[in-house]
Amino acid sequence: MPDIDYDKTQNYLASLVPPRELELQKMEKYAEQHGFPIIGPVCGYYCYQLARMSGAKSVFELGSGYGYSTAWFAKAVRENGGGVVHHTVWDEKLSKMAREHLFNLGFDDLIEYHTAEAVETLRNAPGRFDLIFNDIDKEAYPDSLPVIKEKLRSGGLLIIDNMLWSGYVFDAHNREKSTEAIRRFTRDITTDPDWIVSLAPLRDGMIVAYKK
């Protein structure tokens, strides 16, 4: 059996994603032109599918950028009958961009915007959530897990981005703080019996975890 080429695989997966709204395409083009790390159409559609399948109506994003992932979750929440998606980002400019994009997509009524530190905002948010998406600074991943576990309902989904970290996690000599943090997070969640965990090698790797 021949080796599977990574780039060809990712391009093939991208070709299977249905056409996106023009506004989403604009967001993708901006990311390409400015080197902004959005999750991209393959992972975006995967997040939409997972949120749709699970019937999620309350979603909390830890790290939302200018709203690309938020849009996919909002699309699912709308189709699930409505609810709320929490968009959380430090940067005022990114928050403003997200508001404009999500308004143009017709999702603005579903979004609660936070310009603040993501994990502390989650900690202080009322209630528990159906789905939590984690895409913050990688060094903060391990310490975010106990808060996520507390705020996610039983039967809820956790999605974590960048779990392959451009392949650095495979390099035993790489001891960078971000790489070590991803390794620790992966070890912590996969050895915790309260979670059912899989890692999908889409783009930079996404963990999907089900809270028992």
Q: Is residue 13 part of a domain?
A: yes
CATH number at residue 108: 3.40.50.150
Q: For residue 144, is it within any domain?
A: yes
Distance between CA atoms of 41 and 91, rounded to whole angstroms? 23
Could you tell me the residue range of the domain that residue 202 belongs to? 6-211
pLDDT in tens, the chain (212 residues): 678 899 999 999 999 999 999 999 999 999 999 999 999 999 999 999 999 999 999 999 999 999 999 999 999 999 999 999 999 999 999 999 999 999 999 999 999 999 999 999 999 999 999 999 999 999 999 999 999 999 999 999 999 999 999 999 999 999 999 999 999 999 999 999 999 999 999 999 999 999 99
Number of domains, the chain? 1
Spell out the residues 6+ positions from residue 94 whose beta carbon is closer than 8 angstroms to its own: 64, 65, 66
Q: Is residue 106 part of a domain?
A: yes
